[in-house]
Structure 1
Amino acid sequence: MSSTPVSVDSSARSMAAAVREREISARELLDLHLERIAERNPQLNAVVSLDEERARAGAEAADEALARGERVGPLHGLPFAFKDTHAVGGWRTTYGSTLRADHVPDADELIVERVRRAGAVTIGKTNVPEFAAGSHTFNKVFGTTLNPIDPSRSAGGSSGGAACALAAGMVPLADGSDMGGSLRNPASFCGVVGMRPSLGRVPEWPLYNQWETTSVGGPMARNVADLALLLSVMAGPDARAPHALGDAGTSFADPQPATLGGLRVALSTDLGGAFEVDHEVAGVVEATGRALAGAGASVSGEHPDLGLAEDTFRTLRAWHFQAKFGALLAEHPDAFKASLADNIRAGESLTGADVARAYGQRTALSETMREFFTAYDVLVLPVSQVPPFPADQEFPSAINGKPMETYLDWMRSAYFITVTGCPAISIPAGHTRDGLPVGVQLVAPHGADLRLLEVARAVEALVSPTAG
């Protein structure tokens, strides 16, 4: 046996290694996680559709494969709960909607297919907002997911169940998706790591529109090295996803920490006044800048001009939601939360010229970032404009006394980056005076996901409260 026993708080890499070396069985590892789920999930409500019987059968099969001497994947024997918007064949997948409360897909979608092929043991799903809309996880099927650090607060969303389950030790890794910040915001709120990869890095299939590129799938973990392990499984081309990038997933498996000396860092708390930021969140970002400068990085208070991002994101989001959910809303007008219904209806009045304008602006934003990153290696800014807010609110009503009119207003620091197509990662960087987690967002050029992971590992070691 290992001199350092595996626990639910161990790294995913050490768990996977212990299973491969037969230091712990997949069944024993599952039991540890089921015990933690039994302890914390009744209060936090992060894991849903838990099926212990099938999970135990999966762990037993994982142990038998090892006993036969079979070659196993990098996630072999790790318990895994998939985001409840990702289809798992034969497993209840509700999308957080009463309209899909009893839905059981026939087959795995691509992300699930890859994670399961890598040896993960499916145990259930993680909770989401209704159809993954909004960065606060609540729905009428399962209820609200609470923050594992302070259960009176939001866990964020839409991958809120995933981030909460990770932080609470219920799972070692988690999958998610990100349109307006759904991998990044909950990571910041729960004190874990979440990455929105470059467009095309993690292919998705099936999709109603393979050319719709605001939402991407991606990984979450408790540290950057574990996140890279999961990305190595998720990433890589697939013939069914025509805009998938060609790099092999394995190229992301073991990023080494970058050298911070001489790193060209642009740091901004609000992209030049583009959005309101809570003073304590801004303070964590500024402290990160000071730490980077102290480590030898060249830190400048510069930022790209992303003024086109607001109209671009809102137009494409409304167009996407109307195309995907418009017919369903017309058939079931009372089955959607008001904020989502309003967003869907906002797409009804859009013209072809509106959508064309948004795509033209998105092209301009991509060019802005390409030029910006000729002078800088990484952009540092807030992940979320607020720390975790009270769980009984749908969204923050104000920031520093300034009213937030819609459920999207407080997410600009995340969705402005969405429409650039660049990879972005949230890493824990500090806490508020009340002990609530605050992450910082690191952004790199499109396609530079490996470089972003290398920088993130170095920054994590410098500023993350849980690094080490």
Structure 2
Amino acid sequence: MTDLTRQPAHVQLRALDRREISSRELLDLHLDRIDATTLNAVVTRDDDAARQAAHTADERRARGEAVGVLDGLPITIKDSFETAGLRTTSGAEELADHIPDQDADAVARLRHQGAVIMGKTNTPAYCQDLHTDNALFGPTLNPHDPARTVGGSSGGPAAAVAAHLTPADLGSDLAGSLRLPAHYCGVYGLRPTHGLVPARGHVPRPPGWLTSSDMVTPGPLARHPRDLDLLLNALTTPAPGEGTPWCVDLPTVGKGVEHLSIAIWAEDPDCPVDHETAQALATLEEVLTAAGALVRHTPGPVRFTDSTSLFEQLLYATATATVDDETAAAELAAAGQLQDDDTSPRAIFLRHRSQTHRSWLRANEARARLRSDWQRLFTEHDVLVTPAAPTAAIPAGSRALAVDGQERNFFDQTGWVNLTSHIGLPSLVVPVTTTAQGLPIGVQVIGRPYADRVLLDVAERLATLLRAFG
């Protein structure tokens, strides 16, 4: 019998529907894989609760009462999302014993669609690093090379999906936190249109808060675009406890590859990419052109540096909500002592952390104007393709980034994905190829607001074309 754990989620669900395997059996196959791995991707489990949920799903299916699009499918959840009765730490020592009594909204939606939660995946403390490592659980290893990083902060989810420990995971993305690990681990990762998937119950904010960051977006990771579509369906269907009176019907692409207009923003001097990444984009362009798509290069709809500066201002602002009064006062005092001509990273950090509400409102207006600039691009093109990152996965624990031997800012790793992080556009990382060392290289595909399913359609067609090309 085919090892179903190595199959994508939609194939596993089909096997469940055909009664070729039970949810309990499928769960145990995945738990066996988790037991056998040394990647340290899944850090918290409750096997008894998961088996009970799987048994209940099997009973529903036997009665012909499957409850949703994921019924009986075992999945994992990033440890930043609160899960009722299952420890949620967000990688932080002070939350080592935190067991929520309520699911995060996104988790509740997945359960409502029948998903079986089999464990929590690793994240840096409070999701605040580009490596996935913490004092509670230690580092998560990259399935392609344990000496390389999985990225962060959704590194546990990406590694678990890539290593077939789970068919899918719920991650989160504020500053590339989902898309960078997807790129480094060679899986698909979708940051949905901001606001489609509620973020209440994501830590940080502190446990119990009803609000969340105006930039953080929950999103799925999986090994096939069709799986992301299933997860997106579940994540955009309100659970009964929400009392939400609407449902979402997102558009699809509705035309063949030969009728697609695809823009490519392949390079920018403010965030250069290495030669293997550039070659991956060139290969993708060749494949699309051969299939009849209209492919055009663009310098981008916005200036890279302007977008990055605004992103940083809004990022530092949203991170201040939960600091204590003493820290906030100290930062305000330190900002007041800065010289007007001080443009150091510390000065930028302090000014943005202590900015007035008026300054934030003007930054929010600038964000709306940037979003309008992006919208103009999509009046002419269906999607925009960019690099996902300047390079493949860097060495684990490294605080340096080298691009073809040239040292760059460490945070350039997320420069390309953060073009959309503050704008809220749907953005998808698609695996394309591997380096000479066998490390994955992906690209980012961006669409207009609510074009999430358009991106997934394009990704599935790309996968077919790349297989034929290879």
Offset at residue 15 of structure 1 (A) = 1.2
What one-letter code is carried by the residue in structure 1 that aligns with 2:226? A
The residue aligned with 1:8 is 5
Offset at residue 181 of structure 1 (A) = 1.1
CA distance in 1, matches of 2:417, 2:190: 11
After TM superposition, the structure 1 = structure 2 runs for residues 285-300 of structure 1, keeping only pairs within 5 Å, are 285-300=281-296
Q: Deviations for 1:264-308, whole angstroms, at most 9, x for unmatched residues?
A: 1111222x3231212211221121111111111111111212342
Offset at residue 33 of structure 1 (A) = 0.5
Correspondence for 2:258 among 261, 265, 277: 261
CA distance in 1, matches of 2:85, 2:357: 39
Q: Output the aligned Cα RMSD.
A: 2.9
Offset at residue 343 of structure 1 (A) = 10
Q: Deviations for 1:54-95, whole angstroms, at most 9, x for unmatched residues?
A: 222222222233334433322122112111000001110001
Q: Please say if residues 287 and 469 of structure 2, whose CA atoms lie closer than 8 Å, have aligned partners that are also in contact.
A: no
Q: Please say if residues 201 and 236 of structure 1, whose CA atoms lie closer than 8 Å, have aligned partners that are also in contact.
A: no
Offset at residue 344 of structure 1 (A) = 8.0
Q: Secondary structure of 1:204's partner? A: coil
Q: Structure 1 residues 441, 165: CA separation in 2 closer, same or farther (over 3 Å shift)?
A: same
Q: Structure 1 residues 227, 165: CA separation in 2 closer, same or farther (over 3 Å shift)?
A: same
Matched, 1:113 2:108: yes
Q: Secondary structure of 1:91's partner? A: coil
Output the TM-score relative to the length of structure 2: 0.87
What one-letter code is carried by the residue in structure 1 that aligns with 2:248? A
Q: Secondary structure of 1:154's partner? A: coil
What one-letter code is carried by the residue in structure 1 that aligns with 2:309? D
CA distance in 1, matches of 2:327, 2:121: 24
Q: Please say if residues 73 and 114 of structure 2, whose CA atoms lie closer than 8 Å, have aligned partners that are also in contact.
A: yes
The residue aligned with 1:383 is 388
Q: Please say if residues 195 and 220 of structure 1, whose CA atoms lie closer than 8 Å, have aligned partners that are also in contact.
A: yes
What one-letter code is carried by the residue in structure 1 that aligns with 2:367? R
Q: Please say if residues 422 and 443 of structure 1, whose CA atoms lie closer than 8 Å, have aligned partners that are also in contact.
A: yes
Offset at residue 112 of structure 1 (A) = 0.4
After TM superposition, the structure 1 = structure 2 runs for residues 46-61 of structure 1, keeping only pairs within 5 Å, are 46-61=41-56
Offset at residue 465 of structure 1 (A) = 9.5
Matched, 1:434 2:437: yes
The residue aligned with 1:404 is 408
After TM superposition, the structure 1 = structure 2 runs for residues 129-148 of structure 1, keeping only pairs within 5 Å, are 129-148=124-143
CA distance in 2, matches of 1:342, 1:9: 49
The residue aligned with 1:233 is 234
What one-letter code is carried by the residue in structure 2 that aligns with 1:304? P
What one-letter code is carried by the residue in structure 1 that aligns with 2:439? L
The residue aligned with 2:99 is 104
Q: Structure 1 residues 325, 280: CA separation in 2 closer, same or farther (over 3 Å shift)?
A: farther
- Percentage of matched positions with identical amino acids: 37
Aligned residues: 447
Q: Structure 1 residues 343, 387: CA separation in 2 closer, same or farther (over 3 Å shift)?
A: farther
Matched, 1:311 2:309: yes
The residue aligned with 2:416 is 413
Q: Please say if residues 146 and 164 of structure 1, whose CA atoms lie closer than 8 Å, have aligned partners that are also in contact.
A: yes
The residue aligned with 1:93 is 88
Offset at residue 258 of structure 1 (A) = 4.8
What one-letter code is carried by the residue in structure 2 that aligns with 1:27? R
Offset at residue 453 of structure 1 (A) = 1.7
Q: Structure 1 residues 256, 319: CA separation in 2 closer, same or farther (over 3 Å shift)?
A: closer
The residue aligned with 1:336 is none
Farther-moved stretch of structure 1 (29-38 vs 353-362):
353-362
Q: Structure 1 residues 275, 239: CA separation in 2 closer, same or farther (over 3 Å shift)?
A: farther
Q: Secondary structure of 1:266's partner? A: strand
CA distance in 1, matches of 2:224, 2:123: 22
The residue aligned with 1:424 is 427
What one-letter code is carried by the residue in structure 2 that aligns with 1:316? L
Q: Secondary structure of 1:261's partner? A: helix
Q: Secondary structure of 2:445's partner? A: strand
Q: Secondary structure of 2:262's partner? A: strand
What one-letter code is carried by the residue in structure 2 that aligns with 1:186? P
